[in-house]
């Protein structure tokens, strides 16, 4: 779940400040932030870090430099340092619209570390500052989903989608796609398969090249025990992206249910090669090995998954049921 969630959940990078602050302003510190942002988006992290630091040296009151430097550190999973920069940005930002961004980023910092209750507190604070802030609403809904609080997840993500539809959003289609995928996952977890399928079908119509939609639809068909249809969906996902971890792991599970255990193991091994440190790969690997009769290997895979995300309820249940036998 956690991998799937963060494969969808990208670090929120707010750029609207740049247009108003950088284009009209000759301030060298702010221009350096702009240049650093470009380097960060090209994954040139070391060069970007130098410019962020230089910007702060020139103007220690530049809240934007602290905030965007925090984004860079957060991408690199340097959470403590990122948090300090977001807190400094929050202190320095003079306007509410800027404080909303820093507050949301603090929430995201705790969110990515699995400290969901603290994350919720900051997301709610961001929404108090600006009730129309869809990023905060989306993030809040995604945390509820991570906590398996499905009713609140559905309510909050539905609200986020409405905010996107009615708001002045630069990339509205991508934002709707993202929040709608999380909403579909919430309905899926609740067992509302028809609603899930309807949402995903609509998303595929809007964007037939998004691999995640096919992976979710494949999971729906597995739940319906329609394994051939599930296999077809996972293969569509892999045609969009051969390195789609969720489609690869899902394909392995679907093949196992169809009795093709050797092929299933091959697909699972590819998924683990793509990224062994993901819950979805470890969970499905355990299920496949259990069907193969290798209970020791199944237990090993699920225990490895819980090391990645100790709060994953599905893995906890699978492991408890296995040990009870």
What pLDDT score does 90 carry?
97
The enclosing H or E element of 205 equals helix 193-206
Question: What does the alpha-carbon distance between residue 188 and residue 222 come to, in Å, rounded to a whole number?
Answer: 12
CA R_g for the chain: 21
- Could you read off the pLDDT of 30-66 as tens digits, one per residue? 899 999 999 999 999 999 999 999 999 999 999 999 9
Model confidence pLDDT, tens digit, residues 263-294? 999 999 999 898 888 899 999 999 999 999 99
Average confidence (pLDDT) over 92-112? 95
Confidence check: pLDDT of 4 > 60: no
Output the pLDDT for position 311.
Answer: 81
Model confidence pLDDT, tens digit, residues 181-227 = 999 999 999 999 999 999 999 999 989 999 999 999 999 999 999 99
pLDDT-derived band at 298 (thresholds 50, 70, 90) equals very high
Q: Is 14 left (phi over 0), alpha (psi -120 to 50) or beta?
A: beta
Tokens of 324: 């009870």
Could you tell me the two tokens for 135? 């990023």
Distance CA(108)–CA(253), nearest Å, equals: 32
Rounded CA-CA distance 174/10 in Å is 12
């Amino acid at each position: 779940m956690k991998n799937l969630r963060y494969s969808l959940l990208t670090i929120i990078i707010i750029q609207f400040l740049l247009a108003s602050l950088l284009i009209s302003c000759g301030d060298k510190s702010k221009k350096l932030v702009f240049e650093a942002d470009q380097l960060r988006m090209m994954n040139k992290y070391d060069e970007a870090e130098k410019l962020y630091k230089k910007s702060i040296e020139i103007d220690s009151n530049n809240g934007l430099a602290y905030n965007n430097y925090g984004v860079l550190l957060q991408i690199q999973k340097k959470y403590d340092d990122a948090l300090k920069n977001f807190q400094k940005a929050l202190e320095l930002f003079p306007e509410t619209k800027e404080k909303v961004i820093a507050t949301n980023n603090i929430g995201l910092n705790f969110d990515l570390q699995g400290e969901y209750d603290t994350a919720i507190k900051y997301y709610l604070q961001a929404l108090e500052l600006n009730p129309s802030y869809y990023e905060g609403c989306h993030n809040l809904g995604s945390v509820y989903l991570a906590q398996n609080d499905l009713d609140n997840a559905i309510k909050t993500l539905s609200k986020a989608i409405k905010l996107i539809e009615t708001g002045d959003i630069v990339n509205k289609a991508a934002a709707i796609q993202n929040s709608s995928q999380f909403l579909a996952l919430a309905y899926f977890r609740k067992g509302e398969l028809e609603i899930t399928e309807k949402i995903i079908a609509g998303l595929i119509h809007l964007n037939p090249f998004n691999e995640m939609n096919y992976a979710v639809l494949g999971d729906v068909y597995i739940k319906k025990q329609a394994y051939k249809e599930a296999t077809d969906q996972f293969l569509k996902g892999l045609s969009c992206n051969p390195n789609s971890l969720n489609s690869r792991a899902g394909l392995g599970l679907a093949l196992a249910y169809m009795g093709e255990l050797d092929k299933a193991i091959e697909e699972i091994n590819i998924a683990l090669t793509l990224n062994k440190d993901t819950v979805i790969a470890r969970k499905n690997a355990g299920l496949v090995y259990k069907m193969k009769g290798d209970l020791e290997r199944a237990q090993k895979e699920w225990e490895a998954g819980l090391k990645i995300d100790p709060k994953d309820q599905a893995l906890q249940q699978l492991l408890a049921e296995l040990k009870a036998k």
